[in-house]
Amino acid sequence: MTSTGQPTATRTTRRRTVLISGAGIAGPALAYWLNRRGHEVTVVEKAGTLRSGGYPVDVRGTALEVVRRMGILPRLRDAHIDLRRLTFLGADGGEVASVEPHTVTGGVAGRDLEVRRGDLTDALHAAVRDDVEFLFDDSIDTLDQSGHGADVTFRGGGSRTYDMVFGADGTHSSTRETLFGPEERFHRYLGYRFAVFTMRNTFGLSHETVLWNTPGRAAALYAVGDTDEVHAFLTFARPEPPSGASRDPRAQRDLLTAAFADAGWEVPGMLAAMRGADDLFLDGVGQIRMPRWSSGRTALVGDAAYAPSFLTGQGTSLALVGAYMLAGSLAGRDHTAGFAAYEDSTREFVTLNQQLVAEGGATLFPTTAEALEQRNSRLRGLVTMPSGQGRPAHSALALPDFTPRQ
Ligand SMILES: Cc1cc2nc3c(=O)[nH]c(=O)nc-3n(C[C@H](O)[C@H](O)[C@H](O)COP(=O)(O)OP(=O)(O)OC[C@H]3O[C@@H](n4cnc5c(N)ncnc54)[C@H](O)[C@@H]3O)c2cc1C
């Protein structure tokens, strides 16, 4: 592990015990930083194992400094996908524009990273697994903060009391639901559904994305390397937010089939692959916006607190930065003061990145023919543009060192 030169807590006082729910991105990152600051950390994850592979995610701007301080930047550089082209197609499959990907995503070539989500999760887990207890295939059943600690019972049996509990359990966080109420209160639906799954790469694609559009619909094939698999992506406009029934796998397949019934290009083959895929993931496109991220001895981090939606490409970076800021804010403070410092220091960064949706994300998927033509004109103007300097929001927070107060 790379030393950051940052002090860990002295061992003369009892180590604070913490429970983190979720071993995605935010959970292991928070575990790393809390462990380094002298906390005794347990992570509970409802899945049986870490999920390897998966769709590509971005680590940009301020988040690069977080992974550098964790010592995992070289490993992530090795895992970098290096996407070379992003090609937009019209309804008939003809090329509209082929651009350098960063001109659209706002990333910086040679600096920002794109890695398979599982490669990042593996790197985070490897950085903490020797120092942190992981409980897989389990989750929090009840959480009671009425006493002098947070009393937790686990679905798998057993109970423990912690000094603090953290919800890093993603957009549909049950920790958030337990403490703050139903997701509808905090979920801001952005008007689209999206689905991802893997299928065979029979297209000869390599290190590139091809994106087909008609008004209100998009289908993409994303080839992360020279493998025989591609990530398939379908998105379509739908004014009403998803309901509980939308989680039924057969209903999800029927919904996608109906939405793309008359589509051209490679979409019929994608739909056929979708029906047989064992990793189909479908959800609404939305953000989580909360007036507060903590309650009593419990705080939320990552998508559970402030999912920005994939339209921003910033979910992973917010999770990494949020974890660092939360752990650092607790240094030398009790949970009440620490959680307040976390919100004070991090909220503006989160807001700026959530606002990126208005700046570009949704305009990639216009819902009218006129808006689509305007988008295509803009894209043609980008064809000869080199990668830019990145979006200011990505680097809008300078990471403090968090030397504990004396
Ligand atoms: C299809 C797709 C494409 C995306 N593309 C991008 C992109 O291009 N760039 C980008 O930066 N981001 C992208 N994202 C977003 C990114 O994946 C998330 O923002 C990021 O993973 C957030 O990390 P997290 O740890 O907060 O949540 P998650 O990664 O969702 O992790 C939550 C973890 O909690 C676990 N969990 C859930 N409930 C419980 C429970 N009750 N008890 C215990 N464990 C539980 C889950 O199993 C999971 O392991 C994309 C997301 C999706 C779905």
For residue 11, being part of any structural domain is answered with no
**Are 310 and 173 in the same domain?**
yes
Give the three-class secondary structure for 78: helix
pLDDT higher than 50, residue 66: yes
What mean pLDDT value characterizes the chain? Answer: 91
For residue 68, being part of any structural domain is answered with yes
- pLDDT average, residue stretch 231-238: 95
**Are 200 and 281 in the same domain?**
yes
**Are 222 and 324 in the same domain?**
no
Q: Does ligand 1 come within 6 angstroms of the Cβ of 27? A: yes
Query: With the CA atoms of 32, 34, 38 and 44 taken in that order, what torsion angle do they form, in degrees rounded to the nearest 10?
Result: -80
pLDDT higher than 60, residue 70: yes
pLDDT higher than 70, residue 1: no
Structure tokens at 213: 């559009």
pLDDT higher than 80, residue 332: yes
Residue % of the chain over a pLDDT of 70: 93
Q: Does ligand 1 come within 6 angstroms of the Cβ of 337? A: no
Structure tokens at 193: 């559904």
Q: Which of 169, 178, 306 to mutate to test the pocket of ligand 1 (most atoms within 8 A of CB)?
A: 169
Closest to 123 measured CA to CA, from 38, 231, 1: 1
Looking at residue 248, its pLDDT comes to 87
Minimum-distance ligand 1 atom for the alpha carbon of 308: 19
Q: Does ligand 1 come within 6 angstroms of the Cβ of 169? A: yes
Looking at residue 302, its pLDDT comes to 98
Higher local confidence (pLDDT), 153 or 365: 153
Predicted TM-score (pTM) above 0.85:
yes
Minimum-distance ligand 1 atom for the alpha carbon of 313: 9
Q: Which of 13-22, 201-210, 222-231, 261-270 has the lowest mean pLDDT?
A: 222-231
Is 183 in contact with 303 (CB distance < 8 Å)? no
Residue 136: other Cβ atoms inside 10 A: 14
Containing domain of residue 280, as a range? 191-285+364-382
Looking at residue 82, its pLDDT comes to 85
For residue 12, being part of any structural domain is answered with no
**Are 264 and 276 in the same domain?**
yes
Q: What letter represents residue 1's amino acid?
A: M
pLDDT higher than 80, residue 30: yes
Is 308 in contact with 356 (CB distance < 8 Å)? yes
- Which of 112-121, 232-241, 319-328 has the highest average model confidence (pLDDT)? 319-328
Query: Residues 117-148: pLDDT tens digits?
Result: 999 999 999 999 999 999 999 999 999 998 89
Q: How confident is the model at residue 212 (pLDDT cuts 50, 70, 90)?
A: very high
- Which of 2-11, 147-156, 379-388 has the highest average model confidence (pLDDT)? 147-156
Q: What's the CATH code of the domain at 260?
A: 3.30.9.30
**Are 276 and 318 in the same domain?**
no
Closest to 26 measured CA to CA, from 306, 397, 341, 236: 306
Q: What's the CATH code of the domain at 171?
A: 3.50.50.60
Q: Which of 49, 57, 66, 324 to mutate to test the pocket of ligand 1 (most atoms within 8 A of CB)?
A: 57
d(CA 108, CA 350): 20
